[in-house]
């Protein structure tokens, strides 16, 4: 396989994997919100390069506005959970001095009251935070709920780690001068073709490769 065709195949795999991991994260927050009957759930990814927490997946209140938003990693309740690596349950976030979500609340128009937050760890390294907001009020947070939240956290941590690795792989391809998205689209489209159309597509790519080598 030529270097260009290899890069195209790798690019297609990298972009496909990245999208799959994003869907897994979204499924995780959707399921967590449903299981806990909460108004919202979200996953923050810890961006080591910028030292920020990024809303990577959001379900429920504020989903459209918050996706992709960034906050400093050391601020707010999510920042405290990330730094201390300790889960936190609050019945009223507005009474807690660590609450730093006023700007986010202004952006979405939604002010949560109750919150469950758990750090996402992979090989003991913090990769993000999982939040569940405004579950129905009960007398107290049960051990069963904490265990269940931990299961969601484990799944989200694995997905976040894989997502970060796929993005690093994409960055390597981009640094090598490869138009990743174009190569991925070509490789993906060629893979969908059959029979004579596939043969013609392969012949066209070979002709283009030969032309570029002149």
Cα 104 to Cα 71: distance, rounded to the nearest angstrom:
9
CA dihedral 179, 184, 190, 192 (to 10 degrees): -160
Six-digit token string for 44 = 């923050």
Q: Are strands 70-72 and 40-47 parallel, antiparallel or unpaired?
A: unpaired
Averaged over 164-186, what is the pLDDT?
Answer: 59
Inter-helix orientation angle 143-175/180-192, to 10°: 100
Residues 6+ apart with CB under 8 A from 95: none
DSSP string covering 117-136: EEEEEETTEEEEEEEEE-PP
**Cβ(11)–Cβ(178) below 8 Å:** yes
Q: What is the pLDDT of residues 19-58, one digit of tens each?
A: 777 888 898 999 999 989 999 999 999 998 899 999 999 9
Residues 6+ apart with CB under 8 A from 15: 170, 180, 181, 184
pLDDT of residue 96: 84
Averaged over 154-165, what is the pLDDT?
Answer: 82
**Cβ(40)–Cβ(57) below 8 Å:** no
Six-digit token string for 111 = 């002010």
Cα 157 to Cα 137: distance, rounded to the nearest angstrom:
27
- Split at pLDDT 50, 70, 90, the class of 65 is confident
User: What domains lie within the chain, and their CATH numbers?
Assistant: 3-175 (3.30.450.40)
Number of Cα atoms under 13 Å in the Cβ half of residue 91: 5
Question: How far, in whole angstroms, is CA 94 from its chain's centroid?
Answer: 27
Cα 191 to Cα 189: distance, rounded to the nearest angstrom:
5
- Split at pLDDT 50, 70, 90, the class of 155 is confident
Helix (H) or strand (E) holding 84: helix 76-84
Give this prediction's pTM. 0.70
């Amino acid at each position: 396989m030529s270097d260009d065709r290899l890069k195209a195949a790798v690019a297609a795999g990298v972009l496909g994997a990245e999208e799959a991991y994003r869907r897994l994260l979204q499924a995780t927050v959707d399921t967590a919100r449903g299981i806990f009957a909460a108004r919202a759930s979200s996953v923050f990814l810890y961006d080591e390069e910028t030292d920020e927490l990024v809303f990577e997946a959001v379900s429920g209140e504020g989903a459209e506005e918050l996706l992709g938003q960034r906050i400093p990693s050391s601020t707010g309740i999510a920042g405290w959970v990330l730094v201390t690596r300790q889960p936190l349950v609050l019945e009223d976030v507005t009474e807690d001095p660590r609450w730093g979500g006023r700007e986010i609340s202004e952006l979405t128009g939604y002010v949560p009251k109750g919150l469950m937050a758990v750090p996402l760890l992979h090989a003991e390294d913090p990769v993000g935070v999982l939040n569940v907001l405004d579950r129905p009020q009960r007398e107290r947070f049960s051990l069963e709920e904490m265990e269940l939240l931990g299961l969601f956290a484990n799944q989200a941590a694995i997905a976040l780690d894989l997502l970060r690795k796929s993005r690093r792989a994409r960055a390597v391809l981009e640094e090598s001068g490869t138009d990743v998205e174009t190569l991925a689209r070509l490789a993906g489209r060629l893979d969908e073709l059959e029979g004579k159309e596939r043969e013609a597509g392969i012949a066209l790519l070979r002709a283009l490769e030969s032309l570029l080598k002149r």
